[in-house]
A and B are shown apart, each in its own frame.
Chain A
């Protein structure tokens, strides 16, 4: 049964590991189950589910597993059976096998039998912590001074019923990126470099040097290490990007707050990059793209953010810009290539999920820049490209 429960949880997308599951078996065997499904519910959860965002999935899994069988279900019997014939979910890794051996199942089985015997002898009146009506602080219906009701007749509601309440539904994270998560991802965007600036004491060198100097202290200073990343953030605003405003806002605010870049600039564009880029979202204050390009060199990284979703002519035709009064002489695609040529170490982040990256313009842009989803994973991959620890690969033309 316990093995089935393990699989059942995994089937609900909970990343339970064998090690955690073995901890549960141990906790049960040393008496923590107290033969009560309510307690088992909490015990299994605190040992195997480590994020409140997964609690709702756990509730669903628990309810569906025990639905209908809860009344004629005896954890003690099941556990005793398992301890006598320990069945394991699958082949164990060496580490897991070591954990299992450390458990010493024989000893656990003996201990658990003793507990059960004790429980039988002193049932409804014992002072240990299994059973009902006793003097123990646990169990229910007892008279311990600090008496805690655990499960039992809790308003007549069973553990399964409690689980079906799905109290943790609101905690499901459907994993929206927040500013802090983005900030954390961006913090990884650093390449350390020796730089000028006020010097700091190098303890290790000072010790070495003093030792060589027969104990006469010789202080050694060195220039501090600085991040040499220069980042230009180009964000697509308006139109089809409107649904992603909040996400882009968060990315922007996280990047803006990150103070570890050597230089940081941001500009906005609409649909695609043309002659001008803008410093404000309403796109009034602009600067010529050619001027910006002149300031950049290969030490800069450009991070473009947009859905790359447009009509092909907006990307590949002169005069194809989306605003009808705007006649561009250079195609959007060529502008993008200029950025790529100037700053080869650049990426494109797309707030749309990868599975709908099927527009022709997305395909074209991916031949210029490696494209990543604007999710934690995508952002992390993209940042690895910028840091140079993951190959910078655009699609083959």
Chain B
């Protein structure tokens, strides 16, 4: 069993726990399921692993219409039918009509790769269950050609989920699970300085104070995330807002809160003077 030690990269700061989770998943050859709020760096984790371990990264972006089978392969019947009709090609070789998906491809590679299955929760509820066998055995069968393909090098599989819904138990049992917590103030400061390298200290301090105050309001239905905070800072700076008015007025709140009810809740809480 190969042991790859993931340590994080210059631009991706991985916590010791996250490194351990990645390395355990890699060593046990189990998929790593990463959950966390939007903007906590789930997707970039796979890129960081690939970069750090010098492996190729294959990405399978899941959509609401995605089917498990597409990840393995699709048999292009229409093309074959067309070729048969017009006699363009030799159609007896069925394998030329088998188009491999990212999952299938990752099993066929002649070295270990990183496979990212991004936002698995977007697909149909049954989708994760349809992948159980393939993820367990890391092999699949192509019915059309009668061939079994087993991974020579089991890929490091990173699966992200936005935590929007419960994944099936049978699926969870087969994964190594890591939850990326929302960044705390100090971590958030680092993140913001990456996006706004020249942000004024006082502005940043004020903004973070308001932001974490907002996130702690129990009445909010949707908490603002990192990307909204970054946009908010951009708006505040471009609008030339003074640091004092951030405290007194909470300007450009619409950048941060996208729901009318939440906006009202924040304004009400602000009026109650819970900012301190």
Contacts and interface: CB of A to CB of B under 8 A. Distances in A.
A187 B125 CA distance: 10
Interface stretch (B167-175, B191-199, B251-259, B262-270): B167-175
A184 B165 contact: yes
Interface in B145-164: 163-164
Nearest to A47: B176
Given A23-B28, A43-B24, A146-B7, A50 B172 contact: yes
A375 to B, nearest CB: 13
A187 B126 CA distance: 12
B33 interface: yes
B35 interface: yes
A32 interface: yes
B23 interface: yes
B5 A137 contact: yes
Given A50-B173, A146-B7, A210 B81 contact: yes
A215 interface: yes
Interface string A130-142: 0000000110000
B24 A129 contact: no
Interface stretch (B13-21, B43-51, B108-116): B13-21
A265 B212 CA distance: 41
A20 B16 contact: no
B129 interface: no
A51 B172 CA distance: 9
B81 A32 contact: no
Contacts of B172: 50-51
A30 B1 contact: yes
B186 interface: no
Interface residues of B, number: 37
B30 A23 contact: yes
A213 to B, nearest CB: 11
Given A32-B27, A42-B21, A150-B16, A137 B165 contact: no
Interface string A290-311: 0000000000000000000000
A45 B24 CA distance: 12
A49 B169 CA distance: 11
A50 B173 CA distance: 7
A50 B175 contact: yes
A389 to B, nearest CB: 16
Interface string A211-230: 00001110000000000000
B238 interface: no
A256 interface: no
* Among A30, A51, A150, residue most surrounded by chain B Cβ atoms (within 10 Å): A51
A15 interface: yes
A10 interface: no
A150 B7 CA distance: 12
A33 to B, nearest CB: 10
Interface string B64-102: 000000000000011001001100000000000000000
B15 to A, nearest CB: 9
Nearest to B52: A146
B166 interface: yes
Nearest to A206: B81
A180 B165 contact: yes
A316 interface: no
Interface in A199-255: 203, 206-207, 210, 215-217
B7 A148 contact: yes
Interface in A52-74: 52, 55
B82 to A, nearest CB: 8
Given A49-B177, A215-B84, A215-B85, 11 more contacts: A31-B3, A43-B20, A46-B20, A46-B176, A47-B24, A50-B172, A50-B173, A137-B5, A148-B16, A148-B19, A203-B78
Interface of A: 15, 17, 19-20, 23, 26-27, 30-32, 39, 42-43, 45-47, 49-52, 55, 129, 137-138, 146, 148-151, 167, 171, 180-181, 184, 187, 203, 206-207, 210, 215-217
Interface of B: 1, 3, 5, 7-8, 16-17, 19-21, 23-25, 27-28, 30, 33, 35, 77-78, 81, 84-85, 125, 163-166, 169, 172-173, 175-179, 181
* Pairs A-B, 3 closest by C-beta atoms: A50-B172, A52-B179, A50-B177
